[in-house]
Amino acid sequence: MSLPENFCSAPFIQLQTSKDNRCGVCPYTPNRWQVQGTIADKWKSKELESLRKSFIENKQDPQCRRCWKEEEAGKKSLRLRLSEHKGSKNTDEIFEKYIEPFDIPTGRIWLMPCCGSRDEHIEAAPMVAEMAKKHHFNFSPRLHLLVWDMALKV
Ligand code: SF4
């Protein structure tokens, strides 16, 4: 099964929030929407659902104009770069830049394979599990992929 041509994975896999209840899904949509409530409320908000629906229906959502303009100009947009991302094997750099400076306990960090199908999950999981073991992080599979593969498109 192939994804729609204009699909972007961002609203399905990530969420950015701020102290004043604003949220977005990528660096091109920071603080885009004002949504009250918990992170779960933001994740399930009509704003994010609308964006997800656009991508599932292969529409070029106008909120993503920066990506569409980059692509029109022949550049590799953030959307296209996200679709190519297969995860980083360099956990040492992540550790030094994003974990040690903030003194985050390793037991509060969870790693999940970055993948979009059961086959990709089977391929990526051992490497991610080894990273988790190396740094004493937690490891979680993407259960929806293992159980339903791509049937739910999440
Ligand atoms: S298409 Fe671009 S702007 Fe829209 S969510 Fe994806 S990465 Fe962000």
35 pLDDT band (50/70/90 cuts)? very high
Query: CB of 140 within 8 A of CB of 115?
Result: no
pLDDT surpasses 80 at 46 = yes
* Cα 15 to middle of ligand 1, angstroms: 12
Query: CB of 21 within 8 A of CB of 36?
Result: yes
The residue written with tokens 């991508």 in the block is 55
pLDDT at 74: 95
Segment 105-109 mean pLDDT: 87
Segment 88-110 mean pLDDT: 76
Give the amino acid at 15.
L
Q: How far apart are CA 126 and CA 65, in angstroms?
A: 37
72 pLDDT band (50/70/90 cuts)? very high
Closest CA to 18 of 35, 1, 41: 35
Please report the atom of ligand 1 found closest to the CA of residue 79: 7
Closest CA to 35 of 82, 27, 44, 71: 44
Confidence (pTM): 0.60
Please report the atom of ligand 1 found closest to the CA of residue 8: 6
* Cα 93 to middle of ligand 1, angstroms: 25
Please report the atom of ligand 1 found closest to the CA of residue 11: 5
Asked if residue 64 has its Cβ within 6 Å of ligand 1, the reply is: yes
pLDDT at 132: 85
118 pLDDT band (50/70/90 cuts)? confident
